[in-house]
């Protein structure tokens, strides 16, 4: 499934800023500098992920694999912009040294899965001040009513339902309430026309669209209205609690597969995956969430989404529940091996990671400043 685009990807040499850009990059910059900012003549694809260290399988199937597919399939004049949203990570307390390490691990993983810094811009959000500045401009037009309706805020502010998640409203931080506006700024400051998101982020993208529409109405056409690209893998569930999403914040490390887990670790995690005592292999997320989660993982790793058919094929193969876990494990190990191998190589070259981060930040700052200046001129600030 990960096949050629993940296997032994040669690391491209970083281009000096004084060297001519390759043809596709020259076309992309010319378009960005001269086009009507709201004209969808060519695509600008933007997406981001929080730097929590090495991503898990749910991150990969739900978002990251889509990024690589878009890189392969997009026309040469499309702009691809992928961001480590480290400012978003600050909505929860972070240990500085740990956050710095997680950022490096996340960047190394993005390169290991096949993102090519010669074809796309990969950068850290905090290195581009225009994100935060545009957030303030958008905040002045964002209503508290809109932000109160954000599902994640509502979940966090329901005190007493989950002592590990919920907190009384006075104790919650402003950053958690307003971060959807920063998310909107992340997208609009790069004039994105298309945004690949998971199902759980679709509401936030709708807020982005509303803010862009409102800004354009009040100040004139400034931002494109971004379109949603939904991932085929809506959500991958925890191996230990299959009614909850796979997450790095879960206490049990066996609940998730990290992209760099060695085969023995992956095998142990699948062996302990929660299933049920029913006979046979059938697909029914409501009645058999654990088994259905394994079927979905197996299907997605094989680029399929016909889960009921996949379940029937596995049943026809005469697999026991142990056999199902082993089959899924074998598929995941084989699919992630090229990523694990490339990660080990890239992570060991700190100079290369630093150069990628610097180059990405320079490219992102140049692009973002143009959009920010358009917005400031529209508002009378320039």
Residue of 156, 234, 269, 325 with catalytic role:
156
Reduce the DSSP state of residue 327 to 3 states and report it. Answer: helix
Between the alpha carbon of residue 290 and those of residues 59, 300, 324, the distances in Å are: 19, 16, 11
Cα–Cα distance for residue pair 131/190, rounded to 1 Å: 9
Residue of 158, 173, 234, 248 with catalytic role:
248
Cα–Cα distance for residue pair 84/99, rounded to 1 Å: 12
Q: Is 156 a catalytic residue?
A: yes
**What stretch of H or E contains 352?**
helix 350-379
**What stretch of H or E contains 48?**
strand 44-49
Q: Is 103 a catalytic residue?
A: no
Please name the residues in contact with 357: beta carbons below 8 A apart, sequence gap of 6 or more.
107, 123, 124, 127
Please check whether residue 102 is in contact with residue 270, taking contact to mean a CB–CB distance below 8 angstroms: no
Cα–Cα distance for residue pair 336/268, rounded to 1 Å: 16
Exposure on the CB side of residue 265, measured as CA atoms within 13 A: 13
Q: Is 322 a catalytic residue?
A: no
Between the alpha carbon of residue 39 and those of residues 33, 44, 76, 190, 245, the distances in Å are: 13, 11, 18, 14, 37
Residue of 245, 269, 322, 325 with catalytic role:
245
Please name the residues in contact with 128: beta carbons below 8 A apart, sequence gap of 6 or more.
189, 361, 364, 365, 368
Query: Catalytic site residues?
Result: 156, 245, 248
């Amino acid at each position: 499934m990960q096949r050629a685009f993940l296997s032994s990807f040669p690391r491209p040499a970083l281009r000096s800023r004084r060297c001519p850009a390759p043809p596709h990059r020259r076309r992309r910059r010319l378009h960005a500098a001269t086009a009507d900012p709201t004209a969808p003549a060519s695509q600008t694809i933007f997406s981001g992920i929080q730097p929590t260290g090495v991503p898990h399988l749910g991150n990969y199937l739900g978002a990251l694999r889509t990024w690589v597919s878009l890189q392969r399939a997009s026309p040469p004049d499309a702009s691809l912009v992928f961001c480590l949203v480290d400012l978003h990570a600050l909505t929860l307390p972070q240990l500085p040294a740990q956050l710095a390490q997680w950022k490096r691990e996340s960047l190394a993983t993005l390169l290991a899965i096949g993102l090519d810094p010669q074809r796309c811009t990969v950068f850290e959000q905090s290195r581009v001040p225009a994100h935060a500045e545009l957030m303030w401009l958008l905040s002045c037009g964002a209503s508290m009513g809109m932000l109160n309706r954000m599902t994640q805020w509502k979940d966090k502010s329901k005190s007493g339902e989950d002592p590990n998640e919920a907190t009384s409203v006075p104790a919650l931080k402003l950053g958690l309430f307003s971060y959807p506006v920063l998310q909107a700024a992340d997208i609009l400051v790069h004039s994105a026309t298309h945004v690949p998101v998971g199902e759980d982020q679709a509401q936030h993208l709708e807020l982005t669209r509303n803010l862009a529409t409102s800004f354009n109405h009040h100040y004139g056409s400034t931002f494109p209205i971004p379109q949603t690209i939904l991932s085929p893998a809506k959500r991958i569930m925890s191996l230990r609690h299959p009614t909850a999403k796979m997450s790095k914040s879960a206490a049990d490390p066996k609940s998730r597969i990290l992209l760099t887990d060695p085969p023995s670790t992956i095998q142990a995690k699948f062996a302990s995956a929660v299933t049920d005592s029913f006979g046979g292999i059938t697909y029914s997320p409501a009645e058999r969430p654990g088994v259905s989660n394994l079927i979905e993982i197996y299907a997605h790793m094989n680029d399929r989404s016909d889960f009921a058919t996949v379940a029937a094929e596995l049943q026809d193969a005469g697999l026991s529940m142990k056999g199902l876990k082993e089959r899924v494990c074998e598929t995941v190990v084989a699919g992630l091996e090229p990523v694990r191998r490339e990660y080990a190589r890239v992570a060991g070259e700190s100079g290369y990671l630093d150069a990628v981060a610097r180059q990405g930040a320079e490219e992102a700052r140049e692009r973002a400043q143009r959009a920010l200046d358009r917005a400031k001129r529209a508002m009378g600030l320039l």
